[in-house]
Chains A and B, each alone.
Chain A
Amino acid sequence: MNTVDLLLLLAGLILSLMVFSYLLSDTLLFGIAMYTLVGVTAGFTVVVLLQKVILPMAISPLSALPQTSALLALVPLVLSVLLIWLLFKKSSRLSGIPLAFLGGVVAAALIVGVTRGTLVPQLLSIVNAFDQNKMTSGGLPNWTGIFEAFMMLAGVVAVLFVSHHRKINKNQEANAYSWLDGIKGFGQLFIGITFGAIFVGLFSTGLVALIAYIQYLIDFVRLW
């Protein structure tokens, strides 16, 4: 191990200890580590964007003026300038043009994407679960497939009913519809299982990261 690697390991050790100091409280050491990470990341990003985006996509095409591609390259450049102008005059209406363009494009993409990428495929998946080929196997009922199909349908209906019944409870008295409360509880069961799985995954991810860095520290100490 050369000196550079050793110094990098030492820096990593110090920064790791500074991050672990958050167990005590939001100390200055933790803040220094966080600001160091943010600062280095931002600096690196600026360099990458200058090298990969601004110069090749916004500045270099201007050399080809008056070609059409160069003229069209002025459009993002002007929009970028208007965004920069927003830093100096927040109430400028001209600065709202690129923001409106960006917001409109993102909103349209999200709506179309959710519809085409989530709602329709998921609904088709539920419908396909009741396909005869999936519910039978060799001329006999595939009880596993049937159970999965009905559980999927029941889970979807129950979860959707939770949000709907929550609004109803605001305007109606409690215990007015006991069977509706049963469906609501069934939906909450699905939601609870989902959140539990997400929590386990989150804890597992954090635990793996913790073990990795403690392993890193122990390996560093074992070097000596």
Chain B
Amino acid sequence: MSNQPDELRICPNCGQANALYTLRCIRCGEELEGLFALEGFESLSEPAGKEREEDLSPMADILASLDESPLLADDKKPEEESLEKAGETEEGQPEDGKDDPDWLERIRQRAKEEEDAAGVLAKGGLAMDDRRSHEGRKQVDEAFDEIMRRIREQNDREKARRSRRVESDLVDENGDPEWLRRIRELHPNREDSSNEIQTDASTTDSLDDEWTEEELQELLRREIGLPETPAEEAEETITQEVPTPLLPTDEPEPSLSEPIAENFEEKVLQAEPDPEDFHNIPEDDDQTLKNELEDEMPSDEVEGTLPADENQTEAALQPDLEELTEPDETLVYEKDGEPVEELDSEVDSKPEDKAVEIIESETQDSSDVEDETEDVSKKSQPAEEPLSTEEVSPDLLLLRDQRDRASVFTDIIGQEGRRTIAVLREHHHQSKIGRLVLGLLLIFGVILAILLGPPGSLDLPLPAAGMSFAENLDSIDQDDAVLVVLDYQAASRSNIEPLAARTLEILQEKGALLHLVTSNPENLWLDPLQVPDDFIPGGMLGYLALATGSSSSWGEMPIQQALNGDLDLFGEFDQVVLISDSAEFVRMWLEQIGPWQPRINTSAITTPVSGPILLPYYDSGQLQGFVTGIADASVLNVEPQNLVNQRAYQVGMLLMIVILLLGMITKADEDSQRRAEEQNR
């Protein structure tokens, strides 16, 4: 087809050389009728008829080349079939044209002979148009098929790689995860440096197995290097800014009515179901990384490698390509600062007489595109070999915040297995055997002390509080009313009852008036000799209600019904003796009752546990005195037979002192050993 570009037609009028298919002379405007001369017609001028026959010879060559072209072989058959059908139809029609002129009969005869009613010339023109349109569509389809095939292949590779990553995410023998090893491989010298990772184009080019979005777009640009054949329509469709279906814009949405656009959209939709980005960079950093890559990679590197027409097509397809990867934005691609619309206008403004040249160049370009496609496909073949550091580095293009996160993760991993929060209380499983041995040792010691030898007697110094208790007791005269308050448990009766019994005995010897009350029901059955006279309900609140001494005009208070008769519990007594095993009860009495009845002298018989707690109240004068257990029995001259075995008491105390000393020594030794171990660590 490109063999006849130099053949010209000479104007018969002025001799001007015109293009082969020019209808009129470009100099004189003479109509070049020979072009449409039909065989069998007599031309108006004989020279013109000769030139016409000469001019038809190159046209025959062109048509012959078209017939020989394999691209038009398939397309020609339907036309032939349609022409045959047309011929059959004509043959079937009745011959009613007998009266027609002779030239019309010759035209009909010619049409039958040429098997194409349109004529050889028109047939050739239509064939060229069909070829261009089919070829363009075919190339576009092939390009998109190739792109989709590579996207699928890349998806498959990514899935395979992801599965390998999952397998390799397990920590190695050093306990380091896979991603941390990759970080170290990227930064073998200094992990804590600032972001030094450069993302230049050369680096990205060497990383073939990792396809970024830019690479995909670049590949698509290279492969869509189509001429703008019939194609102007398709090109117009492609270059339209298609708004994203997710975020429609205010502009009217153009319809993709052309087949190429439909095919493109279908394939884009087929590619969209896989929304995952094939990298391990967080999504929020993709845009930043992309911008950095675009900034670092000059536009000339991308666009300068492509032919001009490819750039045009690439510019036309760029919005759609951007949509393929970034559906949230509607981008307008610019080439050298010129918007797409201007490029399109340039394409549209091309004269029709250059279409042949474009077709020629497009054929050559298509072969070039195929070569490039093969090269790129070779480059893009997935490497089945194990991934090297450089191959996986695109996944690890770390930004500053990503490095910070990585450092935080490293710290967290380093903290694994270590205690970060101090345990407030560690539970040490104390051996029950030690407790059993200690109890049995104490029991056997007490038993042996009881069984062996006399009970013995205690010769302890007299405490000041006990002495005061005895002096206060001696101060009680005959007929003095003494209130005795009982509040102790059965478990402490061995400590309290000997002293309480001796105190009551002394008071009875003095002729004091005793009145026993309690608010604890257990005290009602403990000692038959200390049966309470009254039960005061409500505990300390009951005593408080009676101590306040308030009376009402409408009758007695309900609490006063607890007392037998018309007894004024606090109004008639000058002395109160508290018999209690609880220092809390004594303290509450001093706090609640003492301020209301300051004239009453209070003393207490209690257990050794309560002694240290009650001492301040004795020093302040709130307590007249107190005795604590059998240790103060000598103050009241309690008979030894009424006390527990004193030798057993001494043995028990001695054993406990030894055990305490051993415990202190053992504890000090353990502490020293623990400190030594901590220092060694």
Q: List 22 A-B contacts (CB under 8 A).
A: A41-B521, A44-B524, A44-B525, A48-B535, A52-B562, A53-B537, A56-B561, A57-B537, A69-B556, A116-B595, A117-B587, A117-B594, A121-B617, A197-B612, A205-B581, A205-B607, A207-B653, A208-B494, A208-B495, A210-B442, A214-B648, A215-B450
CB < 8 Å neighbour of A76 from B558, B629, B648 = B558
Instruction: Give A192 to B648 CA distance when docked, in angstroms.
Output: 28
Complex Cα spacing A157 to B544, Å: 33
**B: which residues have CB within 8 A of A?**
432, 435-436, 439-440, 442-443, 446-447, 450-451, 491-492, 494-495, 521-522, 524-525, 535, 537, 541, 544, 554-556, 558-559, 561-562, 581, 587-588, 590-592, 594-595, 607-613, 616-617, 619-622, 628-631, 644-645, 648-649, 652-653, 656
**Which of A197, A201, A212, A214 contacts B447, CB < 8 Å?**
A214
Interface string of A24-42 (1 = CB under 8 A from B): 1100000000000000010
Q: How far is the CB of A120 from chain B (nearest CB, A)?
A: 9
Cβ B495 vs Cβ A44 within 8 A: no
Asked, given contacts A72-B554, A214-B443, whether A116 binds B591 with beta carbons under 8 Å apart, the answer is yes
Task: Give the nearest-CB partner of A76 in chain B.
Answer: B558
Partner of A214, one of B450, B544, B613, B622: B450
Q: Is A203 an interface residue (CB 8 A)?
A: yes
In the docked arrangement, what's the CA distance between A201 and B609, Å? 4
| Given A69-B554, A125-B620, A205-B495: A212 and B541 interface contact (C-beta under 8 Å) | no
Whether B648 lies near A209 (C-beta < 8 A) is no
Q: What is the CB-to-nearest-CB distance from B589 to chain A, in angstroms, rounded to a whole number? A: 9
| Interface of chain B, main secondary structure | helix
Cβ of B521 and Cβ of A44 under 8 Å apart?
Answer: yes
Closest CB in chain A relative to B306 CB, distance in Å: 69
Q: Which of the listed residues B432, B442, B561, B609 has the most CB atoms from chain A within 10 Å of its own CB? A: B609
Known contacts: A48-B521, A68-B555, A117-B592. The answer to whether A207 contacts B613 by CB under 8 A is no
A182-224 residues with Cβ-Cβ distance < 8 A to B are 194, 197-198, 200-205, 207-212, 214-215, 218
Chain A residues with CB under 8 Å of chain B are 20, 23-25, 41, 44-45, 48-49, 52-53, 56-57, 61, 67-69, 72-73, 76, 105-106, 109, 113-114, 116-118, 121-122, 124-125, 194, 197-198, 200-205, 207-212, 214-215, 218
Q: Tell me the bound Cα distance from A124 to B620 in angstroms.
A: 8
Question: What's the nearest-Cβ distance from chain A to residue B458, in Å?
Answer: 12
A211, B591: Cβ atoms under 8 Å?
Answer: no
CB-contact partner of B621 in A109, A116, A125, under 8 A? A125
Contact A208 B630 (CB under 8 A): yes
Known contacts A61-B558, A113-B592: A207-B450 contact under CB 8 Å: no
CA distance A25 to B432 in the complex (A): 8
Chain A contact surface mostly: helix
Q: A52-B537, A56-B561, A209-B494 are in contact. Are A201 and B608 (CB under 8 A)?
A: yes
Given contacts A25-B432, A194-B612, contact A210 B587 (CB under 8 A): no
Partner of A212, one of B607, B611, B612, B644: B644
